[in-house]
Structure 1
Amino acid sequence: KWGEQCPEKLLGDFAFAIWDKHKQILFCARDHVGVKPFYYYHKSGQGFIFASEIKALFCLPFVPKRLNEVRMADYVALMMEDKVITTYDNILRLPPAHTMVVSQSGIELNCYWSLDPNRELILDSDEAYAEAFRDIFTEAVRCRLRSAFPIGSHLSGGLDSSSITCVARKLLAEAGDTQLHSFSNIFDKVTECDERPFINAVLEQGGLIPHYVHADQFGPLSDVDEIWQYEDEALLGPSHHYPWRLNQAAKQAGMRIVLDGLDGDNVVFHGVSRLTELAHQGQWEAFVQEAEAFSENFGNSPQALIKHYSILHLKTLAKQLRWIAFAKAVHQIHKRFGISRKHLLLNHGLKALVPEAIKQLWRKWRRQDKSATPVAPLVNRNFAERIGIDQRIQALDKSDQPSLTVREDHWRNLSQGIFPLILEQLDRYNAAFSLEARHPFMDKRLLEFCLALPSEQKLYQGWSRMVLRRGMADILPKAVQWRGGKAHMGPNFIHGLLTLNRQVFDDVILNKLELIEGYVDTDFLRQVHRRMTSGGRVREKDCMTVWQGIILALWLDRTQVTP
């Protein structure tokens, strides 16, 4: 009926291939955000092979299993913007929201959907926006509840998982279906990570069958050998083990479907970049009021917020050579915040005009860093230069360029390459336990709606994600609806690595660094290891540094894959 336009008409998660025997073509498609994975290998004379897992492609003897060093550079530099390549050379991904036609003449890719960064939704009132959000969000949850088996929901106590759990519970109760099961991580030893007051606020409303995972009794490396039976690529983040154990608990409780609040932060969006937008509009009174209110609600330093977002505005004006506007902004910032005019002009005006290549040479000459490339400190300098990772970052990663509007910032966040990569990984984590994860925040309609909202629906009177907070009134407990921030998992990562996984950690540093010395600065990694194990203060950035090194060494040791 719709032919090759059919993906445009679909909602939900999908990846499929259809053989058209009349046209002698293979038509392939992947869903809008990439919930379902699609990998393929193509070589003229050998054919086109596709699968939902990379390991399936290697079942064919002519598919090579070679390490993709460009992907290694991306991983070590924390730049995962490429939506096509994988850890293996010539094993590719069909990007989200794309179709692919395979024929004797080759491969043709087409994008069938994209978010519109220019569309703005105008409604009559805050209440109208809240009601519209509630309707779309409720429908996003409703259409993901269909199941012949009990349904579970991850419940962390945050806004996202709590909203999904509360709406799903309400819908199931109205339909007279069985109760919803909730699955939560709790922390008895590392109490600064524990969110039980918020979890309990949801449970006290009734209608849930709770299950708990003691998440401080295992570390980030505790399950890695089992995970790599299913996961084909190097793991991503240091919190990967939490969904793995939650899924294990869901499987043991008899679930087939689990609801997940993945990345509601980016979908609804915090909107803190509204501060830059207000500065750009010259609304300095509103700028200060929002910054101070946000600081009060979330426990941040108002001075740090004001300085950061006002200076982002200055850098943008300098790069645009708008010197009259720059001078006016300098006057306002000096007048209101007491920052030196000379400092603002030199450091955030003239310096912004210096080409990045000159800055690199200057830093190298002054020995302010070890590398001539502005990448993560773990990257081996020679490897970075050989791959050209600096140029690759400049071409693919635009995160260092300040956004002039909240919507532009929001659109950039939703367009990140890391987004589908995390979804692909979670798909394998769910499949390992015969579960299907459903992500209401990945609903196409909700994505389009949230991006189109005016900025004051995202940040207002110091409250981020305002439209969700208003929309979930009388559904969420007030303790959750108006909570500021959430627990940081860093302390439990450190506890797990240095207490529960210490033997593996030390073994990698002592015996396995030769596996990664071509990719990372192993001397730097040893320094971080000494700092973390000496009993001193562990810096937050140390966690990601050691995680990258450890997981890459363990993965290469297991797979023995080479370029």
Structure 2
Amino acid sequence: MCGIVGILDTRGKREIDQDQLRRMNDTQHHRGPDEGDIYVEPGVGFGHRRLSVIDISLGQQPLGNEDGSVMVCYNGEIYNYRELTAELKALGHTFKTKSDTEVIVHAWEEWGEQCVEHFRGMFAFGLWDRNKQVMFLARDRMGVKPMYYAMLPDGFFVFSSELKALRSLNGLPREIDPQAVEDYFAYGYVPEPKTIYKGALKLSPGFRLLQKVGAPLAEPQQFWDVPFKRHAGMTLGDAEGELVERLREAVKIRLVAEVPLGAFLSGGVDSSAVVAMMAGLSDGPVNTCSIAFKDKAFDESAYAAQVAQKYGTDHHVETVDTDDYGLLDTLADLYDEPYADSSAIPTYRVCELARKRVTVALSGDGGDENLAGYRRYRYAMAENRVRGRIPIGLRKPLFGTLGRWYPKADWAPRVFRAKTTFEALSRDLVEGYFHGVSIMSDQMRQQLFTPKFRADLQGYRAINVMRAHADQAPTDDPLSLIQYLDMKTYLPGDILTKVDRASMAHALEVRVPLLDHKLVEWISGLPPEMKLNGSEGKYVFKKSMENYLPNDILYRRKQGFAVPLAAWFRGPLRERVRSSLLGPNLAATGIFNQAYLNEMVEQHQSGRRDYSAPIWTLLMFEAFLRKEMQA
């Protein structure tokens, strides 16, 4: 696992500023503390920070072919590299290392842009072909590894693993994108392909980009998508057996490493299933780690211990204080742009713990999106059944009126909190789902933003992100569609971003077998009722794991990492909230309605409303602004 940077002169062969290239590379030292190097030729420069995992002695980068006409700078792991090496050798290619990096070079020579279709793994790389005068970028199918890029005003094309490397360039325009701000306050992150800056972009998962010398900024091209192509005649029993075998194989290919390897173990279904498979494939005890919380309302360590005992793992637990809010500014440094998932705090801590024992850790990320594990899927399908029974001409005015007039009752039992449901029922499936996952509703964002900022948006709304993906979706099944939307937005934008930055902050490589693209393709073809059966999410997965995990692991209520934001903002962070939300930094942007900010703070701290998620979102935006002013 590594950090990569690159520069291409699209206007000729101007000399690359090596000091600037080194500065870019050094901003990502944490991603690869073992080694670092740069490569420069007329008009081209690469930088690489290495975390040594495979072919430790010979896998240094940037790496080239025999005559140096093709050079690659790469972050990730290609798990089928041995098979590809044999295939490419049979086609006449000569290898000088045993690394997966060199496979990319020869695969490009053999298959060109289609090389990425042969790779199985997580990857983001930049490849320079001197003979063809092109820079080729690619990002893995699910977006496990990040890739940022930009065309600078002076004609230099640049890319990196983290936005901070691009931000270190004096030539990068740093104007904040109003659409990205609108997206952030709806989703809690800036969805691909945008970044917070107008002048920089993310390469979306499953996309490649071919930048030619002498050409304007290239348009990325998609090379893969989740197919959702239904399997014919598959019974539940068939699916259970095949799912176990496919998961075992996805885990097995991720156990190759020349460094200590282990797993996160939260006590949830997904990480427990991964550990169960690892235990069956390993000669010795599996290294597992989890964190415990002092506040038992947030603690799942007993379930992790149960799985660890069942499989005899070498299990390590550290207890952290639930009031672990000192990381707020650290998170702003890690994520480079506004990012508002507060579970980044415990994720950071579990990565910190894991790195004390291992260099590579397997995780259970992706199970909820693949197998419909989120409770919100159940709610969305229940709402959609109601939509199907009431004509739109009646449903929209009826539930729209109820939604507008029903009070926002955060303090009440869930059965009385009907406002969000009424509002969702007045919309179609996509808009209803968007409304359900938004941190701040359309109405709240209207109140949050000043009239001038709303005018700057020129009618743009954050739902446009989901609408665009829905228009391209390969399925019209309601459950499959919202899973697809999450795979295009929440999974790469939130979950995988969180894990990548938190793990790389500690030079820890995280591998995600449940996001193996072959496994994802197969699961997508299962009937929706095998994923969400009545009120039971991950139904076929849980059934398939009954011989491996106890029922109180499989069928307990999902908890996940959580932190007590509401209490923090009324207690130890009370003054931080007031100084950040009501202070000069947010006011100076001209984006925010100061009266509404004051109303949110007063109502939350008095206990009349729970604005904890919006307040955290604003705190992280203000922390980003402070970092911007210091840069």
TM-score (norm: length of structure 2)? 0.68
What's the offset of the Cα at 1:515? 4.1
Q: Do residues 310 (structure 1) and 419 (structure 2) align?
A: no
Unmatched runs of 5 consecutive residues or more in structure 1: 276-303, 322-346, 357-370
Change (3 A) 1:24 1:197: same
- What whole-Å deviation, never above 9, does each CA across 1:176-211 have from its counterpart, x for those lacking one? 14x32222232223x222223422321220422222
Structure-to-structure mapping, 1:429-440, within 5 angstroms? 429-440=502-513
> Which residues in structure 2 correspond to 1:21-420 (within 5 Å)?
21-43=130-152, 45-78=154-187, 82-103=191-212, 104-106=214-216, 107-117=218-228, 119-172=229-282, 176-177=283-284, 179-189=285-295, 191-219=296-324, 221-251=325-355, 253-270=356-373, 308-314=383-389, 318=392, 374=443, 376=445, 379-388=448-457, 391-398=460-467, 404-416=477-489, 419-420=492-493
SS of residue in 2 equivalent to 1:528 = helix
Hey, what does 1:523 align to over in structure 2? 595
SS at match of 2:187: coil
Q: Counterpart of 1:483 in structure 2: which amino acid?
A: R
Of 441, 450, 456, which residue of structure 1 is paired with 2:514? 441
1:489 aligned onto 2:592: no
Letter in 1 for 2:112: G
For structure 2, the residue ranges without an aligned partner over 5 or more in a row are: 1-109, 396-421, 432-439
Listed one character per residue, the Cα deviations across residues 240-269 of structure 1 (whole Å, up to 9, x for unaligned) are 111111111122x23211222223111111
Note if contact 1:81-1:397 (Cα within 8 Å) is conserved in structure 2.
no
Change (3 A) 1:477 1:311: same
SS at match of 1:64: coil
8 Å CA contact 1:39, 1:50 repeated in 2? yes
**CA pair 160-55 structure 1, distance change in 2 beyond 3 A:** same
Q: What is the one-letter code of the residue matched to 1:188?
A: K
Instruction: Please say if residues 39 and 52 of structure 1, whose CA atoms lie closer than 8 Å, have aligned partners that are also in contact.
Output: yes
State how far apart, in whole Å, the 1-side matches of 2:151 and 2:476 are: 38
**Contact kept? 2:259, 2:358, Cα under 8 Å:** yes
Distance 1:82 1:493, change over 3 A: closer
Kindly tell me: are residues 387 and 440 of structure 1, through their superposed partners in 2, closer, same or farther at Cα, counting changes over 3 Å? farther
1:481/1:148 CA distance change after superposition, 3 Å: same
Q: Distance in 2 between the 1:475 and 1:166 partners?
A: 7
Paired residue secondary structure (1:485): coil
Between stretches 457-466 and 131-140, larger displacement belongs to: 457-466
**CA positional deviation for 1:31:** 0.5
- Whether contact under 8 Å (1:257, 1:436) holds in the other structure is yes
- Letter in structure 2 aligned against 1:387: D
Q: What's the counterpart of residue 113 of structure 2? A: 4
Report the alpha carbon displacement of residue 12 of structure 1 after superposing the two structures with TM. Answer: 0.8
Distance 1:79 1:217, change over 3 A: closer
- Structure 1 contact 96–420 (Cα < 8 Å) conserved: no
How far did residue 537 of structure 1 move?
A: 6.0
Give 1:141 shift.
1.5
Distance 1:319 1:98 in 2: 40
Residues 346-380 of structure 1: per-residue CA shift (max 9 Å, x gap): x99x9779xx9xxxxxxxxxxxxxx9964646631
Q: 1:149 to 1:39 in 2, by over 3 A?
A: same
- 2-side partners of 1:432 and 1:449: how far apart? 33
8 Å CA contact 1:457–1:466 kept in 2: the answer is yes
Q: CA deviation at 1:228?
A: 3.7
Match of 1:454 among 503, 517, 527: 527
* CA distance 1:487–1:110, shift in 2 (3 Å): closer
Structure 2 letter corresponding to 1:182: T
CA positional deviation for 1:23 = 1.1
Shift of 1:305: 8.9
Q: SS at the partner of 1:74?
A: helix
Asked whether the equivalents of residues 161 and 261 of structure 1 are also in contact (C-alpha less than 8 Å), the reply is: yes
SS at structure 1 position matched to 2:121: coil
Identity of aligned residues (%): 23
- How many matched pairs? 480
* Alignment partners' CA distance in 2, 1:471 and 1:477: 12
Higher relative contact order (CA 8 A, sep 6+): 1
> What amino acid is the match of 1:559?
E
Q: Tell me which amino acid in the other structure corresponds to 2:389.
A: L
Structure 1 residues 65 and 237 mapped into 2: Cα distance closer, same or farther (>3 Å)?
A: same
For residue 257 of structure 1, what is the amino acid of its counterpart? V
Whole-angstrom CA distance in 1 between matches of 2:541 and 2:281: 18
Change in CA separation of 1:62 and 1:509 when aligned onto 2, cut-off 3 Å: closer
Please report how far the alpha carbon of residue 45 of structure 1 lies from its aligned counterpart in structure 2 after TM superposition: 4.4
Deviation digits for residues 247-298 of structure 1, max 9, x if unmatched?
11122x23211222223111111488998xxxxxxxxxxxxxxxxxxxxxxx
1:524 is paired with a residue of what secondary structure? helix
Deviations 1:197-228 (A, max 9, x none): 42232122042222223343433x41133344
Question: For 1:352 and 1:235, how far apart are their aligned partners in 2?
Answer: 27
What is the identity, as a one-letter code, of the residue corresponding to 1:553?
A: E
The alignment partner of 1:223 has SS state of: helix
Residues 272 and 494 of structure 1, relative CA distance in 2, 3 Å threshold: closer
2:613 aligned residue:
544
- DSSP 3-state at the match of 2:220: strand
